[in-house]
Amino acid sequence: METVLLPSTQSKSLSRTTWAAQLRALGAIIWREYLHFVRYPTWIIAFIIWPILFPATYIFSSFALAGPGGSGVARFLEVAGTENFLGYIVVGTTVWMWANTMLWNVGFALRGEQMRGTLESNWMTPTNRFFFLLGSGPVHAASTLMFFIFTVVEFRLFFHLTFDANLLSLLAVFLAALPALYGLGFTFASLVITAREANTFVFLVRGIVMIFCGITYPLTVMPQWMQAVAEWLPPTLIIRAARLAALNHAPLEAVSRDLLLLLAYGAFWLALGYLTFSQIERRARLKGALNQY
Amino acid sequence: MQTEFGLSQPSWRSHLRALWMIAVNNWKHHWRYPLNAVSDMLQPLVWLAPVYFMGQAFSVNGRAEGFAGFAGTDDYMSYIILGTALTNFIMAVFWGMGFSLKWDMDGGVLEANWMAPLPRPLMLVGRTLSSLATTTLTSLGMILIGALVWGFHPTGNALSAVLVAVPLLIGLYGFGFAFAALVMILREANTLVDSGSYVVMLLSGANFPVTVLPKWLLPLSLALPLTYGFDAVRAILLKTRTLLPLNVEIAILLASMVLMIVIGLRAFYALERRVRQMGTVGQY
């Protein structure tokens, strides 16, 4: 018996790609990222110890540099405009850790799939491919907020550090920083699909942030050309605005210039992230490099 | 009876051959990703640059006089460069032993490797050999570049310093064995290796004299043999003030070397046996 297919059946595949379906898929990706995050209980250790552990090296070094009688503090006050070197370092290093974990988590989202051998099969689903990247962002952003809370509590407990924070300004800094940082992460994640040597890119980007953005020192101690480069890097603006908001109770107006610049950088990096992803993803498919590692 | 013998005839020569092959495998893997290899060499310099600028924020005319009050020298950068070079070796052992197991787990080859007729601690040692070679190259390069850019002024006997560093390094393997077994149990290496090595580095005073630590942390630091290793090497090369008399610190290093290897191996065998009993060697 001959099977006759109706014209409507012939033209359609089994999948029904609608916006609602795409959003469900995005929700599923976010949920998967969440499950993956909580699956390994060592994240609790990371949340408890890293907020205090990473800055600790710089803090104890600053105690040593300040000297037994605090003779080095006068020089710090002269160049940084504050004696509160503890708070100064904590804010700078916390922003650095945010950028660092973003690079490892968001930046490695696709590379992780590639390493596990699931990227190619995921790519064959009728889900918008950019969603696989986008889905890694929300869980990381939420975990970052928790990380900040742990930071404040731990430094209050162990170092008696008080933050004279303007919460509204601080929240505005956090929100304004999201597009720039995650746009950078998306660009980065796209590049490592073909470059594959992801660690190198992480080390490069976080190294640039570490050296140029003044995480533990004022920019004025660097040579002029380095200060000029620093002004073009989003983390410099985030650190400067966050220090004002967290330590000096700066109102929104005081940080508005940096916030506007951050939003402009954000638009640029998000657009670049999307374009890079589209190009690289197509190139990887053409070269058959999706399942390589 | 024939049935008592397996096909494998392990001997010390076969163990050494296996050790060599593991090292060659890692060496090839390391250089297979040339950008990663270059990055590994530049990383210590990336960590040193911000430390240098931070030192500048507390120094007048390049002299860290506040720092001299604690360390006995105002040559902050030499102090840091030496600490970073030693830290590179700590990292090589931690990552070489702990992370290599995770790497094998992810690649699905751990179970197969585990069935090879080779003592498992020896496999772990093999995983560190190539990284120790690359670390030695990296550290020498870092010291050279550091000396050119920021200045490195050792005034003591380099050979004595290297001899003191040897028991420090051997003792580290003890740490590494116990640590690798922990990775097998928990199956998540990144956080463990990252935070474990960082805590050890922090408390042993890689970047500052441990006397600046709060009173509640100082005992932990003094309980770590590495603290005396850093202290002794610096005292020999930079003439810094020591925590204890130098010969006492060297005696502590020698005793702890033996102790750490014994404890590390016992912990490794106990935890590794537990993992095999649970049947989770192949999981990740």
The ipTM assigned to this model is 0.79
Within 8 A of B53 by CB-CB distance, chain A residues are: 211, 214, 216-217, 221-222
Whole-prediction pTM: 0.78
Q: Is residue A14 part of a domain?
A: no
Q: Is residue A52 part of a domain?
A: yes
Task: Please name the residues in contact with A239: beta carbons below 8 A apart, sequence gap of 6 or more.
Answer: A91, A92, A95, A96, A213, A214, A215
Q: Is residue A10 part of a domain?
A: no
Range of the domain at B256: 77-278
Is the pLDDT score of A2 beyond 60? no
Residue-level pLDDT at A267 = 94
Q: Is residue B232 part of a domain?
A: yes
Q: Among B204, B76, B83, B226, which residue's Cα sits nearest to residue B142?
A: B83
Q: How confident is the model at residue B220 (pLDDT cuts 50, 70, 90)?
A: very high
Give Cα separations from A274 to A133, A188, A228, B91 (angstroms): 10, 11, 28, 36
Query: Alpha-carbon distance A20 to B10, whole Å?
Result: 62
Range of the domain at A191: 22-287
Q: Is residue B89 part of a domain?
A: yes
Within 8 A of A46 by CB-CB distance, chain B residues are: 191, 195
Q: Is residue A12 part of a domain?
A: no
Q: Report CB contact under 8 Å: A197, B58.
A: no
Average pLDDT over residues A261-290: 84
Q: Is residue A2 part of a domain?
A: no
Q: Report CB contact under 8 Å: A57, B71.
A: no
Q: Is B51 on the interface with A (CB under 8 A)?
A: yes
- Residues paired with residue B60 on neighbouring β-strands, in sequence order: B63
A116-160 residue pLDDT tens: 777 778 878 888 888 888 888 888 888 888 888 888 898 888 888
Mutant choice from B39, B54, B182, B197 vs A, greatest count of A C-beta within 10 A = B54
Query: Alpha-carbon distance A274 to A271, whole Å?
Result: 5
Q: Is residue B49 part of a domain?
A: no
B63: helix, strand or coil: strand
Which of A42, A79, A207 has its CB closest to that of B192? A42
Q: Is residue A15 part of a domain?
A: no
Q: Is residue A53 part of a domain?
A: yes
Q: Is residue B46 part of a domain?
A: no
State how many domains chain B has.
Answer: 1
Inter-chain CB pairs, A–B, below 8 Å: 141
Phi, psi values for residue B46, rounded to 5°: -65, -35
Q: Report CB contact under 8 Å: B191, A40.
A: yes
Average pLDDT over residues B209-238: 92
Average pLDDT over residues B96-108: 75
Task: Please name the residues in contact with B79: beta carbons below 8 A apart, sequence gap of 6 or more.
Answer: B67, B71, B73, B234, B238, B240
A204-213 residue pLDDT tens: 888 888 889 9
Residue-level pLDDT at A120 = 78
Mutant choice from B33, B43, B53, B186 vs A, greatest count of A C-beta within 10 A = B53
Residue-level pLDDT at A196 = 61
Q: Is residue A4 part of a domain?
A: no
Q: Report CB contact under 8 Å: B195, A80.
A: no
State how many domains chain A has.
Answer: 1
